[in-house]
Structure 1
């Protein structure tokens, strides 16, 4: 992402993203007496990996079929955590979030 002559962000497109391999993908289920075979149907997926890459990987086969996604993005709290710095410049954080929300 860059800035225009007025300092406003120039957004990329979701097609600019490279699709890469996900770390882990598994079917999961839950107990529901009205649908006892839900687990066998694999109606749910648990994906562990980079949330943007996971969203891009799901896009082709699952557009319009997903009811809920929890991606757990950084919230830009301004804190420095052990594994990552959560104090991004606001325009950088917005660019990161925009890509995830558009998929």
Structure 2
């Protein structure tokens, strides 16, 4: 099976193991109902995923994520340039020079530990759906196959949202 190589991979390969567990603390003011199984978690998704592990490891049947498309657009609902303060802080704390990395390397370094934690959360029959565009789609597919195994790739669903190719 082909292996995806990117600058910084050796530093993120097991990074998900070093993320500290954080307890989930309910906030009555923000809660809707009393069902402890219905959760809305506010915070960094890496920390949120890690906080779910003790309770939900191997039990999640469906995951849908919409990761940053890595277009370089910083004016989006979330910073899509993979240069958020948390990512910059993490990159600066590693022997890899974050400024020397390509945008794609930074994106892969950000995605790898999150996908590793999602893999731990998924049940044996669980399924994951992701949305992505052509900026990182091929890299994401290689990374997913390396983490989840190529036998678990069920394929792509392509949505052609703008058949004329205009930017409107």
Q: TM-score, length-normalised on structure 2?
A: 0.41
Structure 1: runs of 5 or more not aligned = 29-38
Distance 1:22 1:96, change over 3 A: farther
Mapped partners of 1:23, 1:41: distance in 2: 14
| Structure having the larger proportion of residues in helix | 2
Structure 2: runs of 5 or more not aligned = 83-102, 118-168
Match of 2:21 in 1: 19
| Structure having the larger proportion of residues in strand | 1
Q: TM-score, length-normalised on structure 1?
A: 0.60
Superposition deviation, residue 101 in structure 1: 0.6
Distance 1:87 1:76, change over 3 A: same
Listed one character per residue, the Cα deviations across residues 49-83 of structure 1 (whole Å, up to 9, x for unaligned) are 11110100011121122233455532212112277
2:64 paired with 1:62:
no
What is the aligned residue count?
Answer: 89
Q: Which has the higher contact order (CA 8 A, sep 6+)?
A: 2
Q: Per the alignment, in what secondary structure is the counterpart of residue 52 of structure 2?
A: helix
